[in-house]
Amino acid sequence: MIRNRKARGGAVFGLTAILALSFSGAVVAQDEMDCPGAGDEPIEVGAMLWNTGIQFYSNFIKGQEDAAACYGVDLDLQNGNGDLATEVALIQQFIAQEKDAIIVTPSDVEGIVPAVQQANAAGIPVFAANNRIGEGADVVSFIGANDVEFGKRQGEMLVEAVGEEAKVGLVLGALGTSAQLLREQGMTEYLADYPGVEIIEKQTANWADAEALALTQDWLSKYGEGEIDAIVGQGPEIVAGAQGAAQSGRSDVQFLAGDYPYSVKVAIEDGIVAGTVNQDPYPQGYEAVQYAYYWLTDQQDMVEQPDHFLELPIVTADNVDEYPAAWGTPE
């Protein structure tokens, strides 16, 4: 374990002159780089992921594990099980174990703040990955998607698909997650310039296929042809709703997704989903561990602050062949 945390912790929260270097594409396949491996002193990093069971996080976790292997990091990855109290307890556990750094992917942007503040007080550098941490906590860097921009790109896709006059249903992700909040904010901001595009329904499906399907069925029963023009999902679970609509003959409704697993790629190829915004979970996980390693080994100029955003390409039938799925496999 690296013991000189006090000095390093002061650098985390007092340093104002660190160079913010953008190095998009910093993740390099391990067979293309020299992995430094473990140093003389082990680096112990705790990683709290709010729900490891969500399919999106399979490649995120793989990225974390690959980076840990490459950089010789002792990674302690723990599952918050979608429960804020558990997430808080895990961060407190990492503090008690005197981890050298903590990576946090919370379910509740604001609810996790007091626990992160405890890590701040202990002088442990904290990194946020994929989901943000709310105001009042000190975070070295956020690694993930710019979810406001993500929402704007979804708004752009929507207007392209249905025009400037439309009635729309919006299927939200898990309420309180930064992805849900910021993607909705971004879409709202984009659609402010298109007052004819009206959100007539808005409910959460909690990133779950079954809930997205149920919502879609309810809305398609409630609204006949010409009464709802599109349904937008903040995540890939909207594919279940699009499949249900196709089976019931509701080809009048356009479906737009968020994220780009294999299921969304196939749905775009099959013409039941018009498009999606692609974020890749693997580099988010990889670079979070990589950033912790850089920070703890006096390579702080390699850490982009306050945010390291990944690219967010729009994928439609016009370019789907150019983009392999970001995660998932054929069933």
Q: CATH number of the domain at 196, please.
A: 3.40.50.2300
Same domain for 100 and 154, yes or no, is no
Considering the domain architecture, whether residues 12 and 135 belong to the same structural domain is answered as: yes
Asked whether residue 219 is domain-assigned, the answer is yes
| Residue 322 domain-assigned (yes or no) | no
Contact 246, 238 (CB under 8 A): no
> How far apart, in whole angstroms, are the C-alpha atoms of residue 103 and residue 150?
23
Q: How many residues does the chain have?
A: 331
| The predicted structure's pLDDT at residue 33 | 55
Provide the pLDDT for residue 30. 47
Q: How far apart are CA 294 and CA 40, in angstroms?
A: 15
Q: 85 and 197: one domain?
A: no
Question: Contact at 8 Å (CB) between 157 and 187?
Answer: no
Note whether 94 and 48 are within 8 A (CB): yes
Assign residue 98 a region: left if phi > 0, alpha if psi is -120 to 50, beta otherwise?
Answer: left
311: tokens are: 């690219």
**Assigned domain for 44 exists:** yes
The count of domains in the chain is 2
State the DSSP H helix or E strand holding residue 11, giving kind and residue range, or none if neither.
helix 5-14
Place of tokens 């604001």: 110
Amino acid 20: pLDDT:
31
Q: Specify if 323 maps to a domain.
A: no
Beta bridge partners of 75: 45
Task: Note whether 163 and 256 are same-domain residues.
Answer: yes
Does the residue 328 lie in any domain? no
**Domain match, 56 and 115 both:** yes
CB atoms within 10 A of CB 163: 13
The answer to whether 193 touches 223, Cβ cutoff 8 Å, is no
Q: Is residue 72 part of a domain?
A: yes
- Residue 315 falls inside a structural domain: no
Q: Which residues pair with 276 in a beta bridge?
A: 315
The answer to whether residues 78 and 114 belong to one domain is yes
Residues spanned by the domain of 130: 5-144+281-309
Q: Taking the model in full, what pTM does it have?
A: 0.82
pLDDT tens-place values along the chain, 331 residues long: 553 443 343 333 333 232 233 333 344 444 445 798 877 788 999 999 999 998 889 999 999 999 999 999 999 999 999 999 999 999 999 999 999 999 999 999 999 999 999 999 999 999 999 999 999 999 999 999 999 999 999 999 999 999 999 999 999 999 988 899 999 999 999 999 999 999 999 999 999 999 999 999 999 999 999 999 999 999 999 999 999 999 999 999 999 999 999 999 999 999 999 999 999 999 999 999 999 999 999 999 999 999 999 999 999 999 999 999 999 887 6
Cis omega before residue 306 (within 30°)? Answer: yes
Residues 46 and 157 in one domain: no
Q: Is residue 253 part of a domain?
A: yes
